[in-house]
């Protein structure tokens, strides 16, 4: 049994810390956990899975800001009101109401639109034979899908795309340094959302926001503030993490060209490809939890108030769960990837994110064969929502001329 005084210490507050480093792998080999300046890091899959479902832990968003000295202000207020930070009966109530708009059937109805958006964005890219993938596709694809889903007017789409992106660093260890930009984006996004809600109350439409406004259970409905907070959370989580995951997917497939060709030839492998990409290269590489009470878990006493970083990279490559499994989109894994969290805070938008990725990746593989770097990429933060800031790529001629028909038929 490892001793808390002898396990490795990992500085998760260092902006250069990498959860996929050799240092972290060595710490995992020695113990299921490591010490950090603010608590513990969880490194193995079994323990990570169990702790994600443990009700003695709560989501640690506000605590992560407090660890950086941020205890008041618009950024803290925003973090405090989003669904993952709400516990108990209030969380259960909101989740019941919101889940009505996020059924698998509702998401499946959007799949044809996802394919249309992907192909529309790719047409000029394919004609050029190269692109800066993040700006020209990854930034725009999930934003367009969500804009259509929420009923955002075309003239406001850019605001609903760029403002959530400017809020990303609220979930990083550099939130304090980026505070002014984060808080300005929150204020502007809230104003835009309020305008949209007012318009939808006056004129309901066939869109997600109208469904959220109408969502009811035993006479209970979402308040105006709750609608704003849910919509803002959806815009952030539904755009930035999918954007980042697309970037990480393309980086991963560039390192495995045989898997890219296979996905182009067999688009039915897309759901497995999505899970495998999120296992090997998760865009959400740390999941925060804070102990509400002192308790003992797997030989470790976790004091109340301790901050846990559940690190996806070492958990997703844990030999006890996955052996030495290489990247393989044909594989069926007995252990699941943890990117969407677990327990009561399992991501409500997981079906939407999976569908967006599963529709886009095979289209990208067919229309952008023989991927290769086209210059140096710029990395994003190493911990938190993570992925390339820029990703210049070039590629060969698409395999078939009528690829839209082929992909639509296959899917």
Question: Which long-range contacts (C-beta less than 8 Å, at least 24 apart) are formed by 9-14?
Answer: 9/34, 9/35, 9/36, 9/37, 10/34, 10/35, 10/36, 10/41, 11/36, 11/37, 12/36, 12/37, 12/38, 12/41, 12/173, 12/286, 12/309, 12/383, 13/37, 13/38, 13/67, 13/173, 14/173
Separation between Cα atoms, residue 218 and residue 56, nearest integer Å:
30
Question: Using CA of residue 208, residue 213, residue 214, residue 216, what is the dihedral sign?
Answer: positive
Q: What is the pLDDT of residue 67?
A: 80
User: Is 293 in a helix, a strand, or coil?
Assistant: coil
Q: What is the pLDDT of residue 401?
A: 45
Q: What is the pLDDT of residue 411?
A: 45
Domains located in the chain, CATH noted:
75-284+325-410 (1.10.630.10)
Separation between Cα atoms, residue 16 and residue 67, nearest integer Å:
17
**Can you list the positions of beta strands (E) in 125-281?**
130-132, 216-217, 220-221
Separation between Cα atoms, residue 379 and residue 385, nearest integer Å:
12
Question: Considering the entire predicted model, what is its pTM?
Answer: 0.88
In eight-state DSSP terms, residue 284 is B
Structure tokens at 277: 């990409």
Q: What is the pLDDT of residue 1?
A: 61
Instruction: Quickly tell me which residue has 């704003």 as its tokens.
Output: 228
323-332 per-position pLDDT tens digit: 988 999 999 9
* Adjacent-strand bridge partners of 159: none
203-243 per-position pLDDT tens digit: 998 888 888 888 765 677 888 888 888 888 888 777 888 99
The helix-helix angle for 224-254 and 88-99 (nearest 10°) equals 70
Q: What is the pLDDT of residue 60?
A: 78
132-146 per-position pLDDT tens digit: 999 999 999 999 998
**Residues of the chain with confidence (pLDDT) below 50:** 401-403, 405-407, 409-411
Separation between Cα atoms, residue 114 and residue 355, nearest integer Å:
8
């Amino acid at each position: 049994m490892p001793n808390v005084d002898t396990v490795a210490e990992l500085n998760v507050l260092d902006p250069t810390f990498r959860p996929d480093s050799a240092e972290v792998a060595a710490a995992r080999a020695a113990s299921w956990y490591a010490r950090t300046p603010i608590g513990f890091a969880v490194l193995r899959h079994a323990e990570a899975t169990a702790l994600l479902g443990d009700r003695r832990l709560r989501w640690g968003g506000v605590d992560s800001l407090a660890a950086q000295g941020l205890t008041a202000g618009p950024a803290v207020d925003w973090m405090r009101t989003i669904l993952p930070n709400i516990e108990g009966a209030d969380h259960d109530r909101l989740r019941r109401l919101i889940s009505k708009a996020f059924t698998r059937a509702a998401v499946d109805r959007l799949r044809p639109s996802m394919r249309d958006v992907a192909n529309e964005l790719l047409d000029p890219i394919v004609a050029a034979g190269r692109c800066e993938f993040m700006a020209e596709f990854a930034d725009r694809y999930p934003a367009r899908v969500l804009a259509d889903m929420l009923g955002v007017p075309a003239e406001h789409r850019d605001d609903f795309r760029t403002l959530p992106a400017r809020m990303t660093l609220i979930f990083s260890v550099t939130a304090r340094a980026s505070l002014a930009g984060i808080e300005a984006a929150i204020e502007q996004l809230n104003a835009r959302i309020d305008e949209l809600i007012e318009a939808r109350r006056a004129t309901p439409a066939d869109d997600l926001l109208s469904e959220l406004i109408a969502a009811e259970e035993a006479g209970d409905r979402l308040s105006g503030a709750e609608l704003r907070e849910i919509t803002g959370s959806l815009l952030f989580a539904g755009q930035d993490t999918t954007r980042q995951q697309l970037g990480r997917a393309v980086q991963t497939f560039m390192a495995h060209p045989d898997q890219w060709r296979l996905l182009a030839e067999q688009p039915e492998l897309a759901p497995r490809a999505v899970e495998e990409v999120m296992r090997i290269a998760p865009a959400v590489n740390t999941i925060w939890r804070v102990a509400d009470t002192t308790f003992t878990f797997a030989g470790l006493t976790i004091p109340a108030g301790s901050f846990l970083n559940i690190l996806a990279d070492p958990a997703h490559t844990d030999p006890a769960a996955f052996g030495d499994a290489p990247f393989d989109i044909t594989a069926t894994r007995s252990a699941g990837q943890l990117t969407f969290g677990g327990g009561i805070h399992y991501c409500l938008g997981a079906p939407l994110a999976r569908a967006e990725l599963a529709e886009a990746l095979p289209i990208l593989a067919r229309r952008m064969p023989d991927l290769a770097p086209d210059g140096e990429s710029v990395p994003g933060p190493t911990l938190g929502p993570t992925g390339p800031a820029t990703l210049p790529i070039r590629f060969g001629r698409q395999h078939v001329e009528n690829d839209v028909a082929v992909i639509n038929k296959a899917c």
